Each structure stands twice: as structure tokens, then as C-alpha cells.
Amino acid sequence: MSEAERSVAEILRDIAGNVQDIARSEVRLAKADIRERISAWQSGLLLLGIGALSGIFAVFFALLALVHALSHVLLAWAAALLVSVSLALCAALVITAGSRSLKRRRSVRKDDRAS
């Protein structure tokens, strides 16, 4: 059979094969793009993670130093308890403020949808 004599079924099979090839190529291109973006951001994200972890340790050791300083004035267990209760109160205040902010934002969003 020549090109002009191909059946409709063969032409449709060729079209389906070409569409599959195009879809596979698009998926490969998307994967390559994602890998490229991840590698471009990887070093910066790693540095940010190390910095955040260092900051957490710094806060921990500052609190530990505060406990040790207070243990010269109070009993050691009382100094540790005072620092932990103070930290818990700060955490509660921040969580409450964040929760209120989210509730306000949610109510504003509901009002926008109703309009």
C-alpha cells in the first residue's frame, strides 16, 4: 500500500501514536524543568534550613543560660519552671494572636464571597 492508500484505521492509529509521543515528551520536559528548578533552589533552601536550625539552637541555649543565671537566685527547679512557664505564656499569646488573625481573614474572605 502506498501513502495515499492507507486506511482510516491506520491513520487514526498513527495519530494516536503521535499524540502519545507528544504527551510522553511533555512529561519528560516537565520532569526536567522540575529537576532544574529544584537544583537551582536546593543550595539556598539548605542554607536557610541550616540557619533556622542554628537559630533554634541559639534560642535554646539562651534559655538554658537564663535558667542557669536564675538558679543563682532561685532553686534550680524553680528557675527552670519559671523560664518554661514564661515561655508557655509567650507561646499562648502568639498562638492566640495568630488564631484571631486567621479567623478575621476567614471572615473577610466569606464576606467577599457573599458579595
pLDDT at 43: 84
Which residue ranges make up each domain of the chain? 1-58, 71-115
Stretches where the chain sits below pLDDT 50 are: none
pLDDT at 114: 67
| pLDDT tens figures, 86-100 | 999 999 999 999 999
pTM for the complete prediction? 0.54
- The Cα–Cα gap between 115 and 110 comes to 9
